């Protein structure tokens, strides 16, 4: 049994919203958009977003550092904006990648950026500078995921492959060839690290069994168009996918069966592509779209 309630629809951005990130605490989150704005939102007063940073280019990826006034935004041209919200003199704009920075991943004292020309870069958070870069392919790296127990990074790429790397050495442990028929836009480990989930431009949702050498154990045509994003509920029993077909779908994390479809007419879902999902600690699901809005969803299930 699953019940879904639309709590609020948040507006204020002037362009497509591509990125979501956790905020300064469990009640706050951030959005980044094609208008170059980073907006902070509060669950306690969701109708009032606060503009906390602005950059000159479309924001494709976003990360806020906890217990720090800093955030990092990746743009469409391959630049990274290190923003200090208390002292703009400490800001840094670094043009590093080509064709866009599509994802950011923090591990310990480092952050990793996925570039549009196929390069993965490791950065020092303290010094905001590059430490190491790895050319994985000549096509875009679209998504990054981390499995702490395995100390492993999964990289979804536009060459149809998923790359599995040692998070410390960046050594290539395995390459899943032709994981999808087109670009791998989303990759995410299950919280128990038993499975790797992936979504592609081919609209397929796939599940890879990690302990069985990443054997593909489930493949289904999950949406009509590209799967842009995958997010797990904090308790790990369900997950959500967001697509260019304007829908959000909720799935059982154990059986991989579809539980609920959120669409425009019936549920008041987005009227354009769903680009990003973020599941907050209290169970609120945040969705972001090309329609320039964000929606807050309350989703309750019987486990």
Residues 6+ apart with CB under 8 A from 45: none
pLDDT at site 301:
81
pLDDT at site 303:
59
Residues 6+ apart with CB under 8 A from 108: none
pLDDT at site 278:
98
The Cα–Cα gap between 176 and 169 comes to 19
What pTM was computed for the model? 0.95
Residues 263, 269: contact at Cβ < 8 Å?
Answer: yes
- Domain holding 108: CATH number? 2.130.10.10
The burial of 15, by beta-carbon neighbours within 10 Å (0-12 exposed, 13-18 middle, 19 or more buried), is given as middle
Residues 6+ apart with CB under 8 A from 79: 57, 93, 94, 95, 96, 97, 101
Structural domain count, the chain? 1
Mean pLDDT by 10 residues, the chain (303 residues): 92 97 95 97 94 94 92 96 92 93 97 97 96 97 98 98 97 98 97 97 98 97 96 95 97 96 96 98 96 95 71
Domain membership of residue 19 as a residue range: 2-301
Residues 287, 280: contact at Cβ < 8 Å?
Answer: no
Query: Residue 246: left (phi > 0), alpha (psi -120 to 50), or beta?
Result: left
């Amino acid at each position: 049994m699953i019940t879904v309630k639309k709590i609020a629809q948040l507006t204020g951005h002037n362009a497509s919203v591509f990125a979501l990130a956790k905020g300064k605490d469990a009640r706050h989150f951030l959005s980044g958009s094609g208008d170059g704005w980073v907006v902070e939102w509060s669950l306690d007063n969701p109708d009032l977003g606060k503009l906390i940073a602005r950059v000159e280019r479309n924001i494709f990826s976003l990360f806020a550092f906890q217990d720090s006034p800093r955030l990092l935004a990746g743009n469409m041209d391959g630049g990274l904006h290190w923003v200090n919200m208390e002292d703009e003199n400490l800001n840094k704009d670094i043009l590093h990648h080509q064709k866009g920075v599509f994802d950011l991943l923090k591990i310990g004292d480092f952050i990793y950026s996925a570039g549009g020309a196929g390069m993965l870069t490791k950065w020092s958070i303290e010094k905001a500078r590059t430490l190491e870069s790895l050319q994985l392919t000549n096509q875009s790296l679209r998504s990054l995921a981390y499995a702490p127990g395995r100390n492993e990074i999964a990289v979804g790429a536009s060459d149809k492959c998923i790359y599995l790397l040692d998070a410390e050495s960046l050594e290539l442990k395995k390459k899943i060839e032709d994981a999808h028929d087109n670009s791998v836009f989303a990759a995410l480990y299950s919280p128990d690290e038993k499975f790797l989930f992936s979504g592609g431009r081919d609209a397929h949702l796939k599940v890879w069994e990690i302990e069985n050498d990443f054997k593909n154990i489930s493949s289904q045509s999950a949406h009509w168009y590209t799967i842009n994003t995958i997010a797990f509920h904090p308790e790990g029993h369900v997950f959500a996918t967001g697509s260019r077909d304007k829908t959000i779908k909720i799935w059982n994390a154990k059986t991989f069966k579809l539980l609920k479809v959120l669409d425009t007419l019936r549920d008041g879902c987005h009227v354009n592509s769903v680009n990003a999902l973020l599941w907050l600690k209290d169970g609120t699901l945040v969705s972001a779209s090309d329609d320039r809005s964000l929606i807050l969803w309350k989703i309750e299930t019987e486990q």
